[in-house]
Amino acid sequence: MKFRFLYLVASMASLSLPASAQLPPLGGPPNTAATPAPAGKVSVDAINADLKAASTALQEKRYADAEAAMLRVTAERPDLVLPWVQLGTAQIGLKKYSEAEVSFNNALGNNPGPIKEAQTGGGFYQADAKPGAVAPTATRASNPSVGAVITKQNLTPDVRGAALSGIGEVYIRTSRIPEGQAAFDQAAKENPAQAAFYLRNETILFLQTGHAAEQVEAAGKALALDPKRADLYFFKGQGLAAQATIDPKTQKLILPAGCADALQKYLDLDPSGQYSTDAKGMLAAAGVAVKAGKK
């Protein structure tokens, strides 16, 4: 049974640049002239172009290309936030979990030491038609006494949620389960608009890594926010099925409480869905009659 995990790439789609060919710097008026770069620094237009290229590469699973683009930007402008998130996302795709952890921590301001002091100028929030839009020139707050740091005021919910869910994935994939759960919970809290998305991804991560109890817990949290999402019921039922036993007399599965109900609910919502054959198979193995699916 193959499961397709919606990586942080999907979450990053709302943070990435639009797909139009000619783009002004985010937050600027249409068709503005190229923004001059400070001495020794890449221009905002160049950053914009690299962010767009990285976003496209991530969507196409060309993780090495995305990493290369964001390494260029973070080397030149370590004070910017979004490139660190994009870099961490690419490094997850490349299974460079240690590097990804550093990148997401840099985005969150948890590793101020290795980062050069932020450049002055260019606030995080810039005028844009979309409320809360993230500018590619979003910077950390700078305090000469402590170096470059990020405060909550400098991070939009989208960016903070993406970084927290990204580092949560790193924790789960490196067997730091409580830390991963806490990161995903915090991502959901920081960016409620995407909370169900984060928790669904957490559910699938636990499925992929074989943590059935945590999978059921995450699915329950996601369902509380998105009760009409069919696949979440399957993930809950599949996780519960890990606790099934075999009746020695009938050789049928004995499903734990709530398992059959979750699988049937999935079939009710999506009777011919991606996991319908598996759901029906588990129910049949337990001798549970499958009801006709209904929307």
Please report the pLDDT score of residue 293 as a whole number.
58
Say if residue 42 is exposed, middle or buried (CB neighbours under 10 Å; 0-12, 13-18, 19+).
middle
The whole model's pTM is what? 0.74
pLDDT in tens, 167-221: 999 999 999 999 999 999 999 999 999 999 999 999 999 999 999 999 999 999 9
The radius of gyration of the chain's CA atoms, rounded to the nearest angstrom, is 22
pLDDT in tens, 34-65: 334 454 566 888 888 999 999 999 999 999 99
Structural tokens at position 224: 């509380």
21 vs 251: CA distance, rounded Å: 61
CA 271, 277, 279, 282 torsion-angle sign: positive
Please report the pLDDT score of residue 264 as a whole number.
97
Residue extent(s) of CATH 1.25.40.10 domains in the chain: 8-207
Q: How far is CA 202 from CA 45, 84, 166, 168, 236, in A?
A: 35, 21, 10, 8, 12
pLDDT in tens, 72-106: 999 988 888 899 999 999 999 999 999 999 999 99
CATH superfamily of 8-207: Tetratricopeptide repeat domain (1.25.40.10)
User: Per-residue b/e over 225-261, b at no fewer than 16 CB within 10 Å?
Assistant: beeebbbbbbbbbbbbbeeeeeeeeeeebebbeebbe
Please report the pLDDT score of residue 164 as a whole number.
96
Q: Which of 260, 258, 270, 269 is nearest to 290 (CA)?
A: 260
199 vs 179: CA distance, rounded Å: 14
pLDDT in tens, 121-144: 222 222 233 333 344 444 544 333
User: If DSSP codes are grouped into helix, strand and coil, which group holds residue 168?
Assistant: helix
280 vs 263: CA distance, rounded Å: 8
Q: Which of 94, 116, 117, 90 is nearest to 103 (CA)?
A: 90
CB atoms within 10 A of CB 203: 28
Interaxial angle between packed helices 259-269 and 230-241, expressed in degrees from 0 to 180 and rounded to the nearest 10: 150
